[in-house]
Chain A
Amino acid sequence: MLLILFLFVFMLAVFVGFEIITKVPQKLHTPLMSGANAVSGITIVGALTCAHADYPFLAQALGFIAIVTASINVFGGFVVTDRMLAMFGGKKRKK
């Protein structure tokens, strides 16, 4: 039962994804991509639950590497996107 709910959620999310982004102005192509990329780092939530104290060593090790790589994706992604968008803003930039 829950599975079918998950599939519903998945399908609706795909439609929402298509709907909220229809025509992106060219200027925002890169920031949108890198921002979305940071959001895909949500897999960090999965990685965190793999750092299970009851898991065998190998699974924990895999989980640990997953946390590291997902963190790089999340932190790096948001920071780099913000840097770019700050540049686009232009106004607040000191000469």
Chain B
Amino acid sequence: MHDFAKVLYLLATALFIFGIKQLSKVSTARRGNATAGLGMLLAIVTTLIAPGEGDQVIHLSWPLIVAGILIGGVLGTWMARRVAMTGMPEMVALFNGFGGLASLLVALAVFWGDYLAAGDLAAAPSAEAEGLGLTGPVVWSAAVILSILVGGVTLTGSLVAMAKLMGKVGDKLLPARHLITLGLLAAAVLFGWLGGWAAAGGWAAFALILLTIVSFALGVHLVLPIGGADMPVVISLLNSYSGIAASMAGFVIGNSLLIVAGALVGASGLILTDQMCKGMNRTLLHVLVGGFGGDSVSEDARDYSNIRSYSPEDAAADLQLADKVIIVPGYGMAVSQAQHVVKELGDLLMARGCEVKYAIHSVAGRMPGHMNVLLAEADVPHDLLFPTEEINGDFKSADVAVVVGANDVVNPAAIEDPNSKIAGMPILHVHEARTVHMIKRSLSPGYAGIKNPLFERDNCFMCFGDGKEFLQGVVDELKNA
């Protein structure tokens, strides 16, 4: 029976690998999600039939299991069905946090059940660990500690990220930030050492509780100072952490399925994180240390001359004459939920025979692929959406570039001013279009806190207002024309 269960675990592992691979290709993505889901189902059923990998028998407590899966399953499914696409970044962050919490709890529970119940360190390192021939308490303790630490950081980090996405928490810069970080890390090492090796019995347990608290504090502290626009990086990094936490939990219970699945998620999350960093021409370290995420706005950022503004009527008049329009959505589109009216505008223009394309910067919005999700919700055909490197050659021949709530990702200073804070960041070359309609609430700077010289150019017209309202005005005008 046990060998059979191991074969099923192996099969589940293969399904995960296949599933994630398929998820990274457009044509197979949906199947990939189902494949991974099937792997999960197989893993759960196998565990329930033949729990534990060693020879020892585990008496499962069925009421707990049935109740737990029912409550969690119904709650999770309900939230997932209910959430609007605009709330997707928050939802992903929340689910991610729950995953981290689960890994943390697994480590604590096993510690309590196997270690504490056994009484002392010598008798300790978990029935599973002994059954599997793990070399002793050293590695097992390390896995427990890392599960707690990474799981805890994932939980509170994700919750803070979620609060930021909902606009409930701003970016906070504490004066002695790095000192606090070091202090918390030192405390984590101390409590980890005490709990895992130095202390015994109740004291070890107490140390691990302190470690849990420290990990929570660390998660909050690390994410709090990171600027809203760096959120795509943070969210994908936290996603990677939740995988690492699961992998460590795998070492704790001596289960290779958890180790593999967790490592897969950890690695894929890191790749996505790296892609996000490249989109901003920044290193991960820069983002984590807070770089310009929370810096104050530079002196001249609000000084502009030669600003011309457009009313919806002016914008509509331009668009009526255009043969080629490129729409550039940014976080502002998400905030004002303008994706449906953006789609309406695109359709109207195409019905007039105008060529319409959408330019999507890789870090536009607050999570990786944010704009794509919103536009898909509004039913914009995805073959009209183009990433930065594919669309940049098109701006030269575009009559109008309509920028909806984006700023830094269209700032030409990135390529023209080597001293600019964002120098070298890949941008969308909207300034090459014949005219640029900049739909924005005000002249205020983006997250980089710098001036956007685009606003002063002769081909740029500021369309002040809420994205949705302004575009609705344009659409109405076009319809009446």
Q: Residues on B close to A: CB < 8 A?
A: 16-17, 19-21, 23-26, 29-30, 32-34, 36-37, 39-40, 43-44, 47-48, 51-52, 58-61, 64-65, 67-69, 71-77, 79-81, 83, 85, 88, 91-92, 95-96, 98-99, 101-103, 105-106, 108-110, 112-113, 116-117, 132-135, 139, 235-236, 239, 242-243, 245-247, 249-272, 275, 360, 362, 367-370, 372-373, 376-377, 379, 381-382, 385, 387
- 25 of the cross-chain contacts (CB-CB < 8 Å) are A9-B256, A9-B259, A13-B261, A13-B264, A17-B265, A17-B266, A18-B270, A25-B26, A27-B385, A30-B370, A35-B23, A36-B23, A36-B269, A37-B92, A40-B246, A40-B262, A43-B106, A64-B67, A66-B106, A68-B68, A72-B72, A73-B95, A79-B81, A83-B81, A88-B372
Inter-chain contact B65/A24, CB cutoff 8 Å: no
Residues of A within 8 A of B134 (CB): 2-3, 6
Inter-chain contact A67/B133, CB cutoff 8 Å: no
Closest to B67 in A: A64
* Cα–Cα, bound, A60→B382 (Å): 48
Inter-chain contact B369/A37, CB cutoff 8 Å: no
CB distance from B89 to the nearest CB of A (A): 8
* Cα–Cα, bound, A20→B17 (Å): 8
* Cα–Cα, bound, A41→B367 (Å): 20
Q: Which of B43, B98, B253, B271 contacts A22 (CB 8 A)?
A: B271
A-B contact count (CB 8 A): 404
Q: Lowest 6 CB-CB distances: which A-B pairs, in order?
A: A71-B72, A17-B267, A29-B369, A67-B68, A76-B76, A29-B368
Closest to B131 in A: A2
Residues of B within 8 A of A85 (CB): 29-30, 33
Inter-chain contact A33/B92, CB cutoff 8 Å: yes
Interface size on A, residues (CB 8 A): 81
Residues of B within 8 A of A58 (CB): 112
Question: Would A75 and B77 be within 8 Å (CB), given that A27-B369, A47-B106 are in contact?
Answer: yes
Residues of A within 8 A of B252 (CB): 46
Question: Would A78 and B96 be within 8 Å (CB), given that A51-B60, A59-B113, A66-B105 are in contact?
Answer: no
Q: Which of B47, B102, B236 contacts A73 (CB 8 A)?
A: B102
Residues of A within 8 A of B253 (CB): 45-46, 49
Inter-chain contact A48/B48, CB cutoff 8 Å: yes
* Cα–Cα, bound, A66→B239 (Å): 18
Inter-chain contact A69/B101, CB cutoff 8 Å: yes
* Cα–Cα, bound, A90→B378 (Å): 10
Question: Would A48 and B133 be within 8 Å (CB), given that A41-B40, A73-B99 are in contact?
Answer: no
